[in-house]
């Protein structure tokens, strides 16, 4: 309609799991995993992607999925960790029969599991693991490979059963691969199972912060703002992917793409509601107490010795919490004798929480 101004669609998104329109890819992680998956000599068949909420685990895994789905030599199946994973896998492989041509219609009877049709001359397979082995043997004969992706991995009975079967399939030299993504503590708990220690040997990719320089360039290009303002915004994100999207989203809707007080209020609210409240709930009471001491200093980086003095704790008392908070992606302890808050505006969030929960 003439005379109606078309407002450009906001290119930033704070929806989890779906690749945003504006996205800075984890090229190094993707390239390393793809190189292993496509190598003629198979060295690794299981890969772990971990990091704090909103760090891009699912989007990175999805990027690999999408690339391999275009390759006729690969069958890619995404599984839900909350369901019967072996039966789901066999059912989804049946749905992919275009890549296995006539195999499911002529050579294997899955009717016992409610999958496909009953074949008159072939008895139904009675065990789901046996059915999977038969399918994998056919995949191997046709020189194809199977990639299974699992998001939000945790130490559930279904996940343990699947991982045990996956280990057997690897030993039998089937061309089966898995990428699992999840929070550090959930993956760690799964690895600690006595029968699943093979997972410790799986390559692990931690979603480190994005380059602040890349974020700055993205903001300049997308928002058409000057370098100084773009760098101010980039530093506010600390390289955290969700923060990159959230801050961009609200600056996009701000008049003149200004970084004003209203934008900061919305930015803090998004961080709290979508990510930080959940992180806070999952922290132990002692974790929260240490983070409150850190936040109360008003510093983003402090000496470990200063924290111990303020908290009245000894080094060995703090050690396990220090490592745990680092593994959760909340603090950075890479510099000797120092620790810094890794998540943007998390100290501000903690101070607000502490005022409500510790001092009221």
Q: Quick check: 263 and 247 in contact, CB under 8 A?
A: yes
- C-alpha torsion angle, residues 28, 223, 225, 260 (rounded to 10): -110
What is the CB neighbour count within 10 angstroms for residue 178?
23
**Cα(158)–Cα(163) distance, rounded to whole angstroms?**
9
Q: Quick check: 187 and 112 in contact, CB under 8 A?
A: no
The separation between the first and the last C-alpha atoms of the chain, rounded to the nearest angstrom, is: 57
What is the CB neighbour count within 10 angstroms for residue 336?
6
Provide the pLDDT for residue 163: 92
| pLDDT profile of the chain (360 residues), mean per 10 | 54 74 76 94 93 90 93 94 91 83 79 73 85 93 95 90 93 95 90 84 92 94 94 96 95 93 97 96 93 92 93 90 92 94 96 66
Provide the pLDDT for residue 107: 83
Backbone angles phi, psi at 2, to 5 degrees: -70, 145
Provide the pLDDT for residue 74: 95
String of DSSP letters for 334-349: -STTEEEE-STTHHHH
Domains of the chain: 27-206 (3.40.50.300), 212-279 (no CATH), 285-357 (1.10.10.10)
**Cα(345)–Cα(237) distance, rounded to whole angstroms?**
8
Provide the pLDDT for residue 2: 45
**Cα(346)–Cα(325) distance, rounded to whole angstroms?**
13
String of DSSP letters for 204-259: EEE-PPPPHHHHHHHHHHHH---HHHHHHHHHHHTT-HHHHHHHHHHHHHSGGG--
What is the CB neighbour count within 10 angstroms for residue 360?
6
**pTM metric for this prediction:** 0.85
Provide the pLDDT for residue 102: 74
Longest pairwise C-alpha distance within the chain:
78
The 10s digit of each residue's pLDDT in 91-139 is 999 888 777 777 877 788 787 788 876 666 788 888 899 999 999 999 9
**Cα(95)–Cα(108) distance, rounded to whole angstroms?**
14
**Cα(187)–Cα(182) distance, rounded to whole angstroms?**
6
């Amino acid at each position: 309609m003439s005379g109606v101004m078309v407002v450009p669609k906001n290119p930033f998104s704070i929806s989890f799991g779906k690749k945003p329109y504006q996205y800075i890819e984890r090229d190094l992680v993707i390239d390393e995993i793809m190189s292993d998956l496509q190598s003629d000599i198979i060295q690794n068949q299981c890969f772990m992607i971990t990091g704090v909420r909103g760090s891009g685990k699912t989007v990175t895994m999805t990027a690999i999925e999408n690339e391999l789905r275009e390759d006729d030599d690969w069958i890619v199946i995404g599984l839900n960790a909350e369901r019967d994973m072996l039966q789901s896998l066999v059912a989804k492989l049946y749905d992919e029969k275009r890549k296995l041509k006539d195999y499911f219609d002529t050579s294997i009877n899955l009717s016992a599991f409610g999958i496909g049709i009953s074949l008159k001359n072939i008895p139904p397979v009675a065990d789901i693991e046996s059915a999977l082995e038969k399918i994998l043997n056919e995949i191997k004969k046709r020189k194809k490979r199977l990639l299974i992706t699992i998001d939000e991995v945790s130490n559930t009975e279904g996940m343990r059963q699947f991982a045990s079967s996956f280990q057997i399939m690897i030993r039998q030299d089937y061309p089966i691969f898995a990428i699992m993504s999840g929070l550090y503590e959930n993956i760690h708990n799964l690895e600690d199972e006595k029968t699943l220690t093979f997972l410790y040997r799986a390559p692990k990719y931690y979603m480190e912060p994005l380059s602040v320089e890349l974020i700055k360039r993205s903001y300049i290009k997308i928002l058409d703002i000057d370098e100084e303002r773009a760098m101010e915004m980039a530093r506010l994100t600390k390289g955290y992917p969700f923060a990159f999207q959230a801050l961009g989203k609200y600056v996009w809707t701000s008049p003149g793409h200004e970084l004003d007080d209203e934008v900061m209020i919305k930015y803090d609210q998004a961080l709290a509601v979508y990510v930080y409240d959940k992180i806070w709930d999952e922290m132990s009471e002692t974790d929260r107490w240490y983070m409150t001491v850190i936040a109360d200093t008003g510093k983003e980086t402090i000496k470990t010795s200063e924290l111990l003095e303020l908290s009245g704790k000894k080094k060995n008392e703090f050690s396990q919490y220090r490592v745990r908070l680092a593994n959760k992606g909340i603090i950075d302890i890479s510099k000797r004798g120092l620790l810094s808050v890794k998540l943007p505006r998390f100290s501000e969030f903690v101070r607000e929480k502490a005022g409500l929960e510790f001092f009221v």
